[in-house]
Structure 1
Amino acid sequence: MSLPTTSVRSWSRPGRRLLAIAGSCGLAVASLTAVAPAAYSAPAARTTAEAPLAYVTNYSDDTVSVIDTATQTVTATFPVGDGPKGVAASADGTRLYVSNGDAGSVTVTDTSTGTVTATIPVGNGANGIAVSPDGTRAYVVNSALQRLTVIDTTANTVTATVTVGSAPQEVAVSPDGSRAYVTNYNARSVSVIDTATNTVTATINVGGFPQGVAFTPDGGRAYVTRPYSNSVAVINTATGTVSASIPLTDGPYDVAASPDGAHVYVSRGQGATIATIDTATNTVTATTASGNTPRGVAVTPDGDHVYTANGNSATVSVIDTTTHTTSGIPVGTTPVDIAIADRPLADLGVEVTATPRPGLLNGRIDYTVTLTNHGPRTLASATVTVDLPTPTGATSPDCTLTTGKATCTTTSLAPGATTSRQITVPVAILSLGTPYTVTATRTTSTPTDPNPANDSASRTCTAVTSLLINCA
């Protein structure tokens, strides 16, 4: 979702004023002057430690706000390009793609650090943006150039441009990644692009100046908002035809589907509300208050909450999809679009094995501490502290030893990769049943580790003499 180039909207920002020209469309003008934000209650905190993050583009601030959906608070704000509009995240949540409408670029951000790792020129009018399900491509609408730009996300380079209809606004990629749908506002159509060949294979006449578009999870239908005609069109993707039209007043703008496909949620830019549509009947079943001028809309992976960016309230509304109650979170100035993605986590698992090495005078136990990155992203760094039996005179080729402890570190561990550290503990000639216990515990790691259950492991060996060592 992003700003239409042909609807009537005028927003101020320091030293500059964006004016989207309406002209002949006849779309009703919504006043954006000094409207008091809706009164919100504070959102209830969620308890899931692995709750996703929401990313909001703040057009007037040239920033992105990061919302922790577990605590419903803004945890970070980082700069992007000039006039950020659309936002999309990679499937693993490690990268964020922002289309910068005033800069004609896409910024790529590392979500674990909030730093821009690449800036890709894409041309004038960068608007809606989407990422393919496999994360290999990003698709950016160029409203001023009547085209769709295709980005290789590995090389961060433009690999193709596809000519579409007049004043394209938004793009959505089908769940199987085979097609991209682009809404053409002035052309009153949707372009269907074959993502394998980057060619337009069909143009669907939907009427009503289409704006937002979203697929159902099964890919069988696409819902298209039509602000001018106050309705939502339903496209049968198998036939490429409009199968239903749903009346919806107050300028339906953006749309998002629930994970189970049972509902779609539509922001109503002129009514400060979000509509819930039952996809089985294609009827509006609920209308819930939001902030002023709701634009981008997104649904959490569990389907429990809908988030919408309220352009004229400097807030994000959080809607409980069961109770249809609304709470709000202050963000930057002129929030436009929103994306929800998994946290950029790396789950480090710790294991300990022991191998007895009997000897008449120099018995020992070789302990191996194995570290495995269970993903989903690369482990930047980690420290594991190993408690040792004392006194021992332990030795290690790869860990730092102090009295009773060993400190082991690792860096740049890819998802699925393992690394090991060795620690040797000598065994006395007469141990008389002495237990030799080693416990390894992850103490720090970057990025966040979501699973404390596998952060610690221990192994005990028992020695009678240096010749009799049992590691059961």
Structure 2
Amino acid sequence: MSLPSTSVRPWKQRGRRLLAIAGSCGLAVASLTAVAPAAHSATAAPGAPVARATAEAPLAYVTNYSDDTVSVIDTATTAVTATFAVGGGPKGVAASPDGARLYVSNGDAGSVSVTDTTTGMVTATVPVGNGPSGIAVSPDGTRAYVVNSALQRLTVIDTATNAVTATIAVGSAPQEVAVSPDGNRAYVTNYNARSVSVIDTATNAVTATINVGGFPQSVAVTPDGSRAYVTRPYSNSVAVINTATNAVSANVPLTDGPYDVAVSPDGARAYVSRGQGATVATIDTATNTVTATTAAGNTPRGVAVTPDGGHVYTANGNSATVSVIDTAAQTTSTVPVGTTPVDIAIAERPTADLGVELTATPRPGLLNGRIEYAVTLTNHGPRTLASAAVTLGLPSATGATSPDCALTTGKATCTATGLAPGAKVTHRVTVPVSALSLGTSYTVTATRTASAPTDPNPANDSASRTCTATTALIINCT
């Protein structure tokens, strides 16, 4: 989600931005002060989310409009682990399906920042024209869709080339975009036109315009693609669209300015941030009734659900915080982030599974018997392996040789960089065998000692081979 262009006018003054929110959402003007990222603190709500046991919990990315930054929250610990700079006035945020890249619409800069989530570095800046706000990535990761509120259009970016490939005219003051799970359709809310544009993503043509009324702001599609939920802050309600008929099939009354919406992974619930009520409402999608209201921070805007459905995150624009809601207990904790957090996206942590294999080949010789070890490093994906180091413990303190690994006493360190998914590299280390070994055992273990991005599978991180030498002429390896 992003700030509504028709009802919100941000500006800079004396080195800080103020957020003015006018009548359509009924919110007061607030002066905001930056809050440094810190560990989460509990609110008055009784309880905090239980940290996930896995180190591979997804990450939450929060756009901080006034700071020109994105905060990264580890959902296992609910703590900010990094903050990186993007373009001017970041609004919408979306991640690639593999979590490797982040796409941020910069409302003040008229651009989209493409960021490597492992390094936090902007790798490309794509000009898209005035007023970019909402943004979404196709399920296959090949396209990013950016709403241009000021230009009344949807911009399509090819993610392989980071180039704009199409612009699509939509309704007046478009705000947000959502893509159907099959990637065949995009839905754009047109605030002033009080409609939703339906776009065929194969042809980039508007195939339907649905009159939803009430100044629509945000939209989310259910996992089965059968319905789209549309927030209408001005009319205090959420419209439900039947995507088969492109007609409104239900209306859910909801007070306090319903703003953003996200659907749970199982499709059973829709979560709606209520900008005027500092709460999040839970809608049962089977009955389209509100079943719970949970406390959030001041002016909650962007809302997102973790992949396991256990927690809901909201970006609280006027309190410089993110609320973390335990969906089972309906309790809330708070994470301080940057100034004027606007949107939030949750994505699986980018990973590259490095597999380590080791072979040992005996090379008997009267005076120069030796064992040649080959360590093969394979990137099982899903993303490119930026760097890795594998250490081999050597049985001989001295005398080992290698054409491509660093050798120290009793150890060889082999590295890999820029390894694409499915690619592999093999390094070789040779260990001398004594002429009179008398049954000496030569055991070498290769172990991954470092890699980036995160390695999700420790089971294939090491391999061992043992050879036994009676003399330099008799060497057996298993």
* Equivalent residue letter for 1:204: I
CA distance in 1, matches of 2:124, 2:10: 30
User: Residue 221 of structure 1 is aligned with which of 216, 227, 242?
Assistant: 227
Partner of 2:38: none
Partner of 1:349: 355
8 A Cα contact 1:4 1:20, kept in partner: no
SS at match of 1:228: helix
* Distance of aligned partners of 1:438 and 1:35 in 2 relative to their CA distance in 1, 3 Å threshold: closer
Partner of 1:293: 299
TM-score of the superposed pair, with normalisation by structure 1: 0.94
Q: Deviations over 1:167-222 (max 9, x none)?
A: 10000011111110000111111100111111101111111111110111111111
SS at match of 1:210: coil
Partner of 1:2: 2
Q: How far did residue 470 of structure 1 move?
A: 2.0
CA distance in 1, matches of 2:385, 2:344: 27
After superposition, residues 189-268 of structure 1 pair within 5 angstroms as: 189-268=195-274
SS at match of 1:421: strand
CA distance in 1, matches of 2:251, 2:25: 21
Count of aligned residue pairs for this structure pair: 468
CA distance in 2, matches of 1:321, 1:29: 28
8 A Cα contact 2:21 2:27, kept in partner: no
Partner of 2:469: 463
More moved, 303-312 vs 235-244: 235-244
User: Residue 368 of structure 2 is aligned with which of 356, 362, 378?
Assistant: 362
8 A Cα contact 1:112 1:344, kept in partner: yes
Partner of 1:380: 386
Q: 2:129 aligned with 1:123, yes or no?
A: yes
8 A Cα contact 1:381 1:445, kept in partner: yes
SS at match of 2:459: helix
After superposition, residues 5-20 of structure 1 pair within 5 angstroms as: 5-7=5-7, 14=15, 16-19=17-20
User: Residue 31 of structure 1 is aligned with which of 28, 32, 35?
Assistant: 28
CA distance in 2, matches of 1:369, 1:18: 57
Q: How far did residue 431 of structure 1 move?
A: 2.4
Q: How far did residue 6 of structure 1 move?
A: 2.3
* Distance of aligned partners of 1:266 and 1:19 in 2 relative to their CA distance in 1, 3 Å threshold: same
CA distance in 2, matches of 1:461, 1:349: 22
CA distance in 2, matches of 1:393, 1:124: 65
Q: Deviations over 1:372-409 (max 9, x none)?
A: 11222211222211111124622222112222111211
Partner of 1:90: 96
Q: How far did residue 116 of structure 1 move?
A: 1.3
CA distance in 1, matches of 2:245, 2:126: 36
CA distance in 2, matches of 1:28, 1:344: 37
Partner of 1:65: 71
After superposition, residues 34-113 of structure 1 pair within 5 angstroms as: 39=44, 44-113=50-119
Q: How far did residue 67 of structure 1 move?
A: 0.7
Q: Deviations over 1:12-71 (max 9, x none)?
A: 76355454555xxxx352224479996466654332200111110111111111111111
Q: Deviations over 1:249-304 (max 9, x none)?
A: 11111011111111111111111111111111111111100001100000111111
After superposition, residues 276-291 of structure 1 pair within 5 angstroms as: 276-291=282-297
8 A Cα contact 1:43 1:328, kept in partner: no
* Equivalent residue letter for 1:350: V
User: Residue 423 of structure 2 is aligned with which of 417, 424, 431?
Assistant: 417
- Alignment RMSD: 2.1
CA distance in 2, matches of 1:88, 1:15: 26
More moved, 291-300 vs 240-249: 240-249
CA distance in 1, matches of 2:249, 2:61: 33
User: Residue 339 of structure 1 is aligned with which of 329, 337, 345?
Assistant: 345
Identity of paired residues, percent? 80
* Equivalent residue letter for 1:134: D
* Equivalent residue letter for 1:370: T
TM-score of the superposed pair, with normalisation by structure 2: 0.93
SS at match of 1:60: helix
Q: How far did residue 433 of structure 1 move?
A: 1.9
Q: How far did residue 364 of structure 1 move?
A: 2.5
CA distance in 1, matches of 2:274, 2:300: 6
Q: 2:313 aligned with 1:307, yes or no?
A: yes
* Distance of aligned partners of 1:130 and 1:305 in 2 relative to their CA distance in 1, 3 Å threshold: same
SS at match of 1:200: strand
Partner of 2:36: none
SS at match of 2:54: coil
* Distance of aligned partners of 1:223 and 1:470 in 2 relative to their CA distance in 1, 3 Å threshold: same
User: Residue 396 of structure 1 is aligned with which of 391, 402, 409?
Assistant: 402
CA distance in 1, matches of 2:49, 2:55: 17
8 A Cα contact 1:57 1:84, kept in partner: yes
CA distance in 2, matches of 1:38, 1:470: 66
* Distance of aligned partners of 1:209 and 1:391 in 2 relative to their CA distance in 1, 3 Å threshold: closer
Gaps in structure 2 of 5+ consecutive residues: 34-41
Q: Deviations over 1:313-335 (max 9, x none)?
A: 11000000111100000011111
8 A Cα contact 2:396 2:431, kept in partner: no
Partner of 2:178: 172
CA distance in 2, matches of 1:414, 1:468: 40
Partner of 2:169: 163
Q: 2:447 aligned with 1:450, yes or no?
A: no
SS at match of 2:235: coil
* Distance of aligned partners of 1:35 and 1:397 in 2 relative to their CA distance in 1, 3 Å threshold: closer
8 A Cα contact 1:32 1:312, kept in partner: no
CA distance in 1, matches of 2:59, 2:274: 24
CA distance in 2, matches of 1:234, 1:339: 22
